[in-house]
Amino acid sequence: MDIEQRQSELIDHFVKRASAVSDAAALASVLVEATSHPSLFAFSEILALPNLLQLEATENSAFLDMLRLFAHGTWSDYKSNADRLPQLIPDQILKLKQLTVLTLAETYKVLPYDQLMQELDVANVRELEDFLINECMYAGIVRGKLDQLRRCFEVQFAAGRDLRPDQLGNMIHTLSNWLSTSESLLVSIQEKIKWADSMSEIDKKHRKDVEEKVEEVKKSIFKKLHTVSRPTSTSEAMRRSALNLVE
pLDDT tens digits for range 6-62? 889 999 999 999 999 988 899 999 999 999 999 999 999 999 999 998 888 788 999
Per residue in 117-139, pLDDT tens?
A: 999 999 999 999 999 999 999 99
Bridge partners, residue 147, by sequence? 152
- pTM for the predicted model, two decimal places: 0.70
Bridge partners, residue 100, by sequence? none
Burial of 214 (0-12, 13-18, 19+ CB in 10 A): exposed
Q: How far apart are CA 243 and CA 236, in angstroms?
A: 11
Per residue in 139-152, pLDDT tens?
A: 999 999 999 999 99
Instruction: Give the residue among 116, 109, 115, 149 at the shortest CA–CA distance from 132.
Output: 116
- For residues 61 and 246, the model is more confident at 61
Average pLDDT, rounded, for the chain? 86
Dihedral in degrees, nearest 10, Cα atoms 131, 134, 138, 142: 10
Does residue 115 register a pLDDT over 90? Answer: yes
Domain ranges of the chain: 6-158, 165-206
- The model's confidence at residue 202, banded by pLDDT at 50, 70 and 90, is confident
- For residues 231 and 124, the model is more confident at 124
Element (H, E) at 140: none
Q: Is residue 75 a contact partner of residue 120, using CB atoms and an 8 Å limit?
A: yes
